[in-house]
Structure 1
Amino acid sequence: VEFPVIQFRPSDLKRGTNGWRRLCKRVREACETFGCFEVVYEKISAKVREETLELMKELTEVPVERKQKNISPLPYYGWVGPCNQVSLLYEGFGLGDASNYDSVKTFAQLMWPDGHPPFCNTVHTMATQIES
């Protein structure tokens, strides 16, 4: 399955503009049709984007017992496993403050015994690039 790729341009992120409305429509359609989409944001390098996608594949392969350790009192901030209401293919992982390296490291230590340093570095890099 190929998911929609949606480019987020700074000019389209200004609420109320025509670009904003077009972007919102594309996001809504992607979510309604596929349940997800890939974001292309010019501040994030292609290398970091590709590495992140590969790491997300690894994350989905983590045993369920470990995923269930990612809990939060906030709705949808912990692990959300496959469910009939959404999709049996859906999984969500809440990762609090990804621009804080320690937060990413704490999450990674729940998922992988070794803390998966490449995961930590890549996710933290992506988060800081998004924030800049």
Structure 2
Amino acid sequence: MGSGKEDCRTIPAIDLKKFPEAEEYRKLREASETWGCFRLVNHMIPPALMSEMKSVARSLLDLPMEIKKQNKDGITGSGYLAPSIVNPFYESLGFYDLGSRQALDSFCSQLNASSYQREVIEKYAQTVCEQIVDIGQKLAESLGLADNDYLKGWPCQFRINKYTFTPELVGSTGLRSHTDPGFLTILQDDEIVGGFKVMDKSGTFVAVDPCPGTLLVNLGDVTRRI
């Protein structure tokens, strides 16, 4: 189970072990309304699998450019995203639906993934999908919505990111300010290097420090609309 020390939480932390306590549902709703994000503690993704997925992500993003360009998904904003004028230090790989075996197989084939890499991605995909449904249901319940089975059929985009900085460019913007377009994002952040920031209600950007063993959940535009 994931866990984290209290001193590394600059945003609210939601402990899945404490559900179905009414207080934890209250904290979840308050964090969502006040911050739009929170740390997920004692989640269902094993630490070893998190570490393996990070290693696989690094190895895939270090592939030659001609192989990375083969990652095409047919969906706008999916597939390989190369560094650009707007985001010169950022690149990523991905596909549109983590719950689709066909999409996952296509992603692995495009990048010539090894049997080990494919196995790790498959295990990670299954566990993350289960975690997304679980936290989505708890969020719905915190808002008094009892019928939340609709979450199970939603697509889940998978994306692995890389930021390339030289020493003199540390402190530059890795990715321009944005909101996530979907319902919610589950982020496994770097356990050593920080840099992620969120905007609080006053409009001030607040640094969110790495917190080993936890996941960062960010609510997107769909949630705000609901």
> d(CA) in 2 for partners of 1:13 and 1:51?
31
1:59 aligns with 2:60: yes
Match of 1:129 in 2: 127
CA separation of 1:40 and 1:59: change in aligned 2, threshold 3 A: farther
> d(CA) in 2 for partners of 1:40 and 1:123?
22
1:93 aligns with 2:93: yes
Deviations 1:7-48 (A, max 9, x none): 66557899x811224552569xxxxxxxxxxx8771111011
CA separation of 1:89 and 1:13: change in aligned 2, threshold 3 A: farther
Asked if 1 retains the 8 angstrom alpha-carbon contact of 2:32 and 2:38, the reply is no
CA separation of 1:26 and 1:44: change in aligned 2, threshold 3 A: closer
Asked if 2 retains the 8 angstrom alpha-carbon contact of 1:98 and 1:127, the reply is yes
Identity of aligned residues (%): 15
Q: How many residues align?
A: 114
1:24 aligns with 2:36: yes
1:126, distance to aligned residue in structure 2 (A): 1.2
CA separation of 1:124 and 1:40: change in aligned 2, threshold 3 A: farther
> d(CA) in 2 for partners of 1:100 and 1:17?
30
Query: Which structure has greater strand proportion?
Result: 2
Match of 1:78 in 2: 79
1:96, distance to aligned residue in structure 2 (A): 2.8
> d(CA) in 1 for partners of 2:42 and 2:81?
26
> d(CA) in 2 for partners of 1:75 and 1:66?
19
Structure 2: tracts of 5 or more residues without a match: 1-7, 131-226
Query: Which structure has greater helix proportion?
Result: 1
1:81, distance to aligned residue in structure 2 (A): 0.5
Q: Which has the higher contact order (CA 8 A, sep 6+)?
A: 2
Question: How big is the alpha-carbon RMSD for the aligned residues of Structure 1 and Structure 2?
Answer: 3.3
1:70, distance to aligned residue in structure 2 (A): 1.5
Structure 1: tracts of 5 or more residues without a match: 28-38
Asked if 2 retains the 8 angstrom alpha-carbon contact of 1:77 and 1:94, the reply is yes
> d(CA) in 1 for partners of 2:91 and 2:121?
18
> d(CA) in 2 for partners of 1:80 and 1:13?
37
1:47 aligns with 2:59: no
Larger radius of gyration: 2
Asked if 2 retains the 8 angstrom alpha-carbon contact of 1:109 and 1:116, the reply is no
1:84, distance to aligned residue in structure 2 (A): 2.1
Letter in structure 1 aligned against 2:82: G
**TM-score normalized with structure 2 length:** 0.42
> d(CA) in 2 for partners of 1:75 and 1:89?
20
